[in-house]
Structure 1
Amino acid sequence: MPTVLIADDEPAIRRALREILEFEGYTVEEAVDGDEALEKARSGIDLLLLDIKMPKRDGMEVLQALHDAESTVPVVMISGHGTVETAVEATQLGAVDFLEKPPDLNRLLVTVRGALARGQLKVENVRLKQVVRDAGTSDLTPIVGDSPAIGRIQQTIERVAPSEARVLITGEPGTGKELVARHLHAQSPRADGPLVEVNCAAIPSELIESELFGHEKGSFTGATKQRIGKFEQADGGTLFLDEIGDMSLDAQAKVLRALQESRITRVGGDRSISVNVRVVAATNRDLLQQVDEKRFREDLYHRLSVILIHVPPLRERRGDIPDIARFILGQVMRRNGMTDKSFADGALTRLGQQEWRGNVRELRNVVERLLILSDGDEITAADVERYVIPSGSGGSAAGLIDRYDTLFEFRDHAEKLFIERKLDENDWNVSATAELIGIQRSHLYNKLKDLNIERPE
């Protein structure tokens, strides 16, 4: 339920408002003066009921400070000394309503519901404006970091992107292989053409041929209309084959033929179609080992690996973690319309000590968690200890346990963290993850829906 902050120096007023709001199911916090009200208003509340006459700072000064900070928290002024001039001034500073003491019960509840709805709209408006601004400048995320490994990757992209050479990107799940592919496309002469992405691990082997090459109407059961495949969709641009190591041998043979001839044939068709496509592939597997085990075609490997780019895991470039964490924090704050927050040096040091088995993808999830759950304007080392389940030793989950009152709430949260971690480890391959954790794929899909788990962008 939403959290309402009651800022009033009269205990009787605070108590009366608390009883009414808690009976309606709201979470209630209190502040006894203007300074405390301003501090708590910056820590993630949903609505502020603000008295005008208070010690230290009066309500108008608090409202002015929130207005100057472009706060999205809706404010309802309450006062026993209200005037038309004061109400007009409060409205100009962003207050959504003005209540006189003692407030009428029905009027209070209607005002609270309306103010919360307006607050949600304001936050969404800020988020959408930022999305539009981001889209207007560039939708290409920069490659963040100044480690030697990142420097080499950037230099390789600059040299290779203008060519037509095929590129094979290797690295653990979550390291940013897709980002490297996007930069290769963006810096190439094909940048104005399409970038078409295919997650080979997510497509059943019996459908991969139709997905890549398309099919004609009636070519198999369920083919009720013609389908254009990914090779045709990428004509004039770049085709990114992610997790190429999970492709079946039969599909590998057809991809090899398409690369050799620059032509494809739709499933069920008899016409050869010319395609002008640059292929960039990625994998978290050791393809040479798979070649030795006869699970990957050696001739296809050599076709794909004209240029090799390896993206190292975070644990091998820990110096990049502070810059990446700061970048993600700024990105998530802008997209959610949240107030400014920063990392304390101790927090960044503690993040740098984690193992990050899920790499940048796991770090993104953790940064978003810290942003939402931490108090104040700064994320501290204590916040990391409290809210981040450590990959290694030296951390405690006691703080996590303390946040839940029932076994069911804690179980759902722990289950969500476990599934997200295992999905990260398997690069969000649902089938592989279900097999790893010992449940049916359909059951895992239900869990993703019930726990509101979505793959990060």
Structure 2
Amino acid sequence: MTRKRILIVEDIPALALMYAGHLEKAGYEAVVVDTGAAVLRALANGESFSALLLDLQLPDIDGLELLRSNVDLLAKQPVIVVTADGSLSRAIEAMRLGAYDFLVKPLAAKRLLAVVASAIEAGPTIVSPVPAQSADPRLPVATPGGFVGSSGVMREIYRQISCIARSRATVLITGESGTGKEVCADTIHRESGRSGGAFIAINCGAIPENLLESELFGHVKGSFTGAVSDRIGAVQAAHKGTLFLDEVCEMALPLQVKLLRFLQTGTVQRVGTSRVDEVDVRIVCATNRDPLREVAEGRFREDLYYRLAVVPVHMPPLRDRGNDIAELAETFLQRFSREEGKRFGPLGPAQLAALKAYRWPGNVREMQNVLRRAAVLWDGPDLPLSALPSEPGAAPAQLAAPPLPMETAQGAPTPHPDLAAAFRGMTLDEIERLVITRAIEDAAGSLPTAARMLGVSASTLYRKRERWASAGEAA
């Protein structure tokens, strides 16, 4: 059987020999060169390689410039770049150019071999650049995954997904709550070469801090109270697939260190054991916070941020998606009316105007819930305006926000005389959700602060938010 050839581009002889030794011991044939010019000569002479291990600091050319000016390097074989720990930004740029992965010196043999094997299995990752979508909004657009909408901002999202899906780079999706971040992550997985593997989603904000490590990395029997059997974590469950970490900025700092170690080594260690297991997982993360602000204020590690944000994607709020509002509303109304065994006609000009005038603070998820409620409460064929938002910043009639309580001279709140009337027609669950959502907004998105304002534990809010998300997942 012909051994797979690996081209090592490294100008420090001791390091080149060490890499070659690891690879040859694993059954590969290692070919070593020390300059960018030697790489180009080898390819020009028709030599073929299963993978290329490229140091970014070469004596005759910068490694990034070599990739930029020689697309064939990426088109003919997967490229793995090697960098010093202080040059992560350069490694990230290499992945944006099409490199399969990057390794940080000093290289661990297991990590090197795991990445090389994974790169060979995936093959070349570079693709022809996807042209920007036409500025003509009349042209049809293919919407991937569970997305609905053909606005310019969403066409750009679809273009990005098409490029990202063919890479192994980690992705950080930002955007307000309800904009479809998980739909984006799931679509990246489905469009990628890992679609045959599992898509495992973990909400870092919904799991108590003391349990999140076990949920991610697994545990062995007896490692803590309640660990009645061995259990793999989400990372191992996503082997050969994609792990989606939602609300990643909610992760506690000690666990951020362990996540960073996993990203650096490609190995996991279950709680309660010293055994280390190798995994091949693509990481996609999401947050509704500003991650750079979280870094600046010390709540999120800067080195972890740069590891995760190799490819950033920002999901636009619904209010910025133009005619997508009408398209989404029509899609939701028809979908939910079928589920309820009802029939609704197309939305009229007045309904569409009301939908477009509303600011949609809860974005697509809020619209989904509004249209589901409308399909339940009304029989059709026409949808009354009272079922929809009717003015900028207003809530739907059934979910109108109650007025804030007035304060006495002593500062103690007293019940507003119309408070009960404002809640009339709402279920207890709806009232609770309204109050909690308002508290979270007042706390600038901080669940622990909102919990203190409401006099409950933060874990209570995390559980409720997870339950609401599961009950009404956005399209």
TM over 0.5: yes
Indicate yes or no: 2:315 matched with 1:337: no
Compared with structure 1, are the counterparts of its residues 417 and 433 closer, same or farther at alpha carbon in structure 2 (3 Å cutoff)? farther
The corresponding residue for 1:419 is 432
Counterpart code for 2:426: H
Compared with structure 1, are the counterparts of its residues 255 and 394 closer, same or farther at alpha carbon in structure 2 (3 Å cutoff)? closer
Compared with structure 1, are the counterparts of its residues 141 and 416 closer, same or farther at alpha carbon in structure 2 (3 Å cutoff)? farther
The corresponding residue for 2:366 is 362
Q: Number of aligned pairs?
A: 308
Measured after TM superposition, the shift of residue 352 of structure 1 is 1.0
The corresponding residue for 1:438 is 454
Measured after TM superposition, the shift of residue 373 of structure 1 is 2.5
Counterpart code for 2:289: R
Measured after TM superposition, the shift of residue 277 of structure 1 is 0.2
Compared with structure 1, are the counterparts of its residues 452 and 154 closer, same or farther at alpha carbon in structure 2 (3 Å cutoff)? closer
Measured after TM superposition, the shift of residue 152 of structure 1 is 0.6
Measured after TM superposition, the shift of residue 148 of structure 1 is 1.3
The corresponding residue for 1:305 is 309
Tell whether the 8 Å contact from 1:344 to 1:381 is kept in structure 2 after alignment: no
Measured after TM superposition, the shift of residue 431 of structure 1 is 5.7
Which of the numbers 294, 311, 322 marks the counterpart of 2:326? 322
The corresponding residue for 1:268 is 272
Tell whether the 8 Å contact from 1:422 to 1:433 is kept in structure 2 after alignment: no
- Aligned partners of 1:365, 1:395: CA distance in 2, in Å? 11
Compared with structure 1, are the counterparts of its residues 374 and 141 closer, same or farther at alpha carbon in structure 2 (3 Å cutoff)? farther
- Aligned partners of 1:242, 1:364: CA distance in 2, in Å? 20
- Aligned partners of 1:194, 1:456: CA distance in 2, in Å? 22
The corresponding residue for 1:251 is 255
The corresponding residue for 2:85 is none
Which of the numbers 368, 374, 378 marks the counterpart of 1:374? 378
TM-score where L is the length of structure 1:
0.60
Indicate yes or no: 2:146 matched with 1:146: no
- Aligned partners of 1:456, 1:169: CA distance in 2, in Å? 20
Compared with structure 1, are the counterparts of its residues 327 and 424 closer, same or farther at alpha carbon in structure 2 (3 Å cutoff)? farther
Kindly report the root-mean-square deviation, in angstroms, between the aligned alpha carbons of the 2 structures.
Answer: 3.5
**Post-superposition CA distance 1:185-212 (Å, at most 9, x none):** 0000000100000000011111111110
The corresponding residue for 2:213 is 209
Indicate yes or no: 2:408 matched with 1:392: no
Tell whether the 8 Å contact from 2:170 to 2:283 is kept in structure 1 after alignment: yes
Compared with structure 1, are the counterparts of its residues 151 and 239 closer, same or farther at alpha carbon in structure 2 (3 Å cutoff)? same
The corresponding residue for 1:292 is 296
Residue 152 of structure 1 aligns to a residue in which SS?
Answer: helix
The corresponding residue for 2:95 is none
Give the 5 Å matches for 1:147-226.
147-226=151-230
Residue 426 of structure 2 aligns to a residue in which SS?
Answer: helix
Tell whether the 8 Å contact from 2:344 to 2:383 is kept in structure 1 after alignment: no
- Aligned partners of 1:277, 1:362: CA distance in 2, in Å? 32
Counterpart code for 2:310: V
Residue 196 of structure 1 aligns to a residue in which SS?
Answer: strand
Counterpart code for 1:417: E
- Aligned partners of 1:258, 1:324: CA distance in 2, in Å? 39
Tell whether the 8 Å contact from 1:145 to 1:320 is kept in structure 2 after alignment: yes
Residue 151 of structure 1 aligns to a residue in which SS?
Answer: helix
Counterpart code for 1:339: R
Tell whether the 8 Å contact from 1:169 to 1:282 is kept in structure 2 after alignment: yes
Indicate yes or no: 2:228 matched with 1:227: no
Counterpart code for 2:320: E
Compared with structure 1, are the counterparts of its residues 305 and 395 closer, same or farther at alpha carbon in structure 2 (3 Å cutoff)? closer
Which of the numbers 236, 242, 245 marks the counterpart of 2:246? 242
Answer 1 or 2: which has greater helix percent.
1
Compared with structure 1, are the counterparts of its residues 436 and 187 closer, same or farther at alpha carbon in structure 2 (3 Å cutoff)? farther
Structure 1 unaligned residues grouped into runs of 5+: 1-139, 402-406
Compared with structure 1, are the counterparts of its residues 296 and 453 closer, same or farther at alpha carbon in structure 2 (3 Å cutoff)? closer
The farther-off stretch of 210-219 and 412-421 is 412-421
- Aligned partners of 1:394, 1:252: CA distance in 2, in Å? 38
Compared with structure 1, are the counterparts of its residues 231 and 395 closer, same or farther at alpha carbon in structure 2 (3 Å cutoff)? closer
Measured after TM superposition, the shift of residue 311 of structure 1 is 0.4
Identity of aligned residues (%): 39
Residue 200 of structure 2 aligns to a residue in which SS?
Answer: strand
Counterpart code for 2:393: G
Measured after TM superposition, the shift of residue 392 of structure 1 is 2.1
Counterpart code for 1:245: C
- Aligned partners of 1:411, 1:228: CA distance in 2, in Å? 47
Compared with structure 1, are the counterparts of its residues 400 and 159 closer, same or farther at alpha carbon in structure 2 (3 Å cutoff)? closer
- Aligned partners of 1:443, 1:178: CA distance in 2, in Å? 22
Counterpart code for 1:227: R
- Aligned partners of 2:390, 2:211: CA distance in 1, in Å? 38
Compared with structure 1, are the counterparts of its residues 452 and 273 closer, same or farther at alpha carbon in structure 2 (3 Å cutoff)? closer
- Aligned partners of 1:176, 1:399: CA distance in 2, in Å? 24
Measured after TM superposition, the shift of residue 143 of structure 1 is 1.2
Residue 210 of structure 2 aligns to a residue in which SS?
Answer: coil
Tell whether the 8 Å contact from 1:343 to 1:380 is kept in structure 2 after alignment: no
Structure 2 unaligned residues grouped into runs of 5+: 1-143, 403-419
**Post-superposition CA distance 1:283-334 (Å, at most 9, x none):** 0111111111111111110111111100011122232110111111122123
- Aligned partners of 1:453, 1:297: CA distance in 2, in Å? 27
- Aligned partners of 1:234, 1:211: CA distance in 2, in Å? 12
Measured after TM superposition, the shift of residue 147 of structure 1 is 1.5
Measured after TM superposition, the shift of residue 397 of structure 1 is 6.9
Larger radius of gyration: 1
Tell whether the 8 Å contact from 1:242 to 1:282 is kept in structure 2 after alignment: yes
